[in-house]
Structure 1
Amino acid sequence: MTTDAIARLRRFSRAVTAEVGALDDSFLGRGRPLGAARVLNAIGHGQTDLGGLREDLQLDSGLMSRLLRGLEEEGLVSTSPHPADARRRVVALTRAGRREFEAYEALSDAQAAAILGRAPDPEPLLAAMDLIASVLGRDRIRIEEADPRGAAARRCLEAYYAELARRFARGFDVALSRDPDAQDMTRPRGAFLVALSDGLPLGCVGLKGSGGALAEIKRLWVSPAARGLGLGRRLMTAAEEAARDLSIRTLRLDTHSALPEALALYRGTGWVEIGRFNDDPYPDHFFEKSL
């Protein structure tokens, strides 16, 4: 790594630290530092298991205990034994804690809007932020089964369709494609998987089944912000694991020559090219894999 690259990264780190007030004793003017505010924020967004909270925030147990104790002394949170496992503890916001969480949310939204307002065009800035967050949080990207009709799935699929429309020489119209029914990508027939980074959908893949031993892989997509991080391979591995769990023994997929990254992924992970097996007007390459 060159000294210029290191200097530029350190400049960026200083700019972000100063802008968000990471070193302020009173983050966003609410009377407590950033660490305590992050704990309050995570609880407010639904992370109530103490072990999971510590893992998500990457805090050691000593610091986590001190931050929680301070919030408890302020009357903002309460802790109690887990209802199903007395060895674990759960944490919740009090009524005062909920008000404080909402105040932070409003201030954080206003701060974000002000920062974006300085950019002549915020989209390149947002794209750069997504890329940085994906790289820094690479090890925390998780893959979950999701409803193919849900918000996270729709966000991925809309981005996927838009990209196909840009990359295919004659565009892409999902109404002309063999678009799978949602029920074919939910258990017990199939599954739909979404990759999430701090709540942001970064990729998806569908497993389209019919209840038999043969199924198709559909709608593999990875956000530009996460490409090169091995996420496509992780999604495909997760889809294969879901297929095995559903007693599916053979997988098929189709793709297009305008997507060389997909072709390279399939050829490098054990997929065998076969003849056409459907009448979809868009694909020109067809693959199969035995599990």
Structure 2
Amino acid sequence: MTDRHGVVIVRWPGQGPAAARPAELLAAYHLRTQAEKGDPVADVDALPDRYRTEILDPRAAFADDTVLIALSGGDTAVGCVVLTAPAGGRSEIKRLWTDPASRSRGIASGLIAAALAHAADNGVGTVRLSVWKWRTSAIALYERLGFTVVPSWETRDQLLCMERTV
């Protein structure tokens, strides 16, 4: 899809290196998030069921969604994002994650740009997301990419809701 500083963004599942499951990226995302919530767990087995299910069977968990993977060097997965299936002219960005060793290379913004392009190509008018309030660098990235804060649709405390027109 895109080539940015030696990183290619591809749709998953695919063939070749992109066929690899995004399990490691999802595991890192959920383990980090759990720790940031103040409830760290030792491993994937200790995560809540809904998160563990995504890691163990991402094909089923995201069957109707679009999963994009950032590959470095052609075969090393360094980032991912999920774009939910359109509903009522909207899609939602979820599970944006860049491997910490690969940050500051434009991977997250490349993943979001690819997700927005995919949304536009599929007739989506609005893309939304929720982000933990303490993730200030992620919020700044979303704002730079045109997302604005909107009234919350989330019931979980500490989540900020944002959206943008595609």
Using the size of structure 1 for normalisation, the TM-score is: 0.46
Q: Percentage identity across aligned positions?
A: 28
- Structure having the higher strand fraction is 2
- Asked if 1:151 corresponds to 2:17, the answer is no
Unpaired stretches in structure 2, ≥5 consecutive residues? 42-46
User: Alpha-carbon deviation of 1:211?
Assistant: 4.9
Tell me, which stretches of 5 or more residues in structure 1 are unaligned? 1-137, 186-190
Secondary structure, aligned partner of 1:163: helix
- How far apart are residue 146 of structure 1 and its match? 0.4
Q: Is the 8 A contact 2:31 2:40 kept in 1?
A: no
CA distance in 2, matches of 1:157, 1:214: 23
Residue 138 of structure 2 corresponds to residue 252 of structure 1: no
The TM-score, its normalising length taken from structure 2, stands at 0.78
Deviations 1:45-100 (A, max 9, x none): xxxxxxxxxxxxxxxxxxxxxxxxxxxxxxxxxxxxxxxxxxxxxxxxxxxxxxxx
Q: Do residues 175 (structure 1) and 55 (structure 2) align? A: no
After the TM superposition, which residues 1-291 of structure 1 pair with which residues of structure 2 at under 5 Å, given as runs? 139-147=5-13, 151-171=20-40, 173-175=47-49, 181-185=61-65, 191-198=66-73, 199-279=75-155, 281=156, 283-291=158-166
The DSSP-based 3-state class of the residue aligned with 1:209 is coil
Give the conservation status (yes or no) of the 8 Å contact 2:86–2:124: no
In the aligned structure 2, how far is the partner of 1:167 from the partner of 1:274? 23
- Give, in angstroms, the shift of residue 282 of structure 1: 5.9
Q: Comparing both structures, which one devotes a greater share of its residues to helix?
A: 1
* Contact residue 34 and residue 40 of structure 2 kept, 8 A: yes
Matched residue SS, 2:153: coil
Runs of 4+ in 1 over 4 A off after TM superposition: 171-174
Alpha-carbon deviation of 1:139? 2.1
SS of the residue corresponding to residue 152 of structure 1 reads coil
Which structure ranks higher in relative contact order (CA pairs < 8 Å, sequence separation ≥ 6)? 2
Q: CA RMSD in A?
A: 2.4
Which whole-Å deviations, capped at 9, do the CAs of 1:240-266 have from their partners, x for residues lacking one?
A: 001011111111100102222211111
Rounded to whole Å, the distance in 1 between the matches of 2:40 and 2:132 is 12
Total equivalences in the alignment: 146
SS in 1 for 2:141: helix
**Partner secondary structure for residue 93 of structure 2:** strand
Task: Quote the Cα distance in structure 2 between the aligned partners of 1:252 and 1:231.
Answer: 19
Q: Highest CA radius of gyration, 1 or 2? A: 1
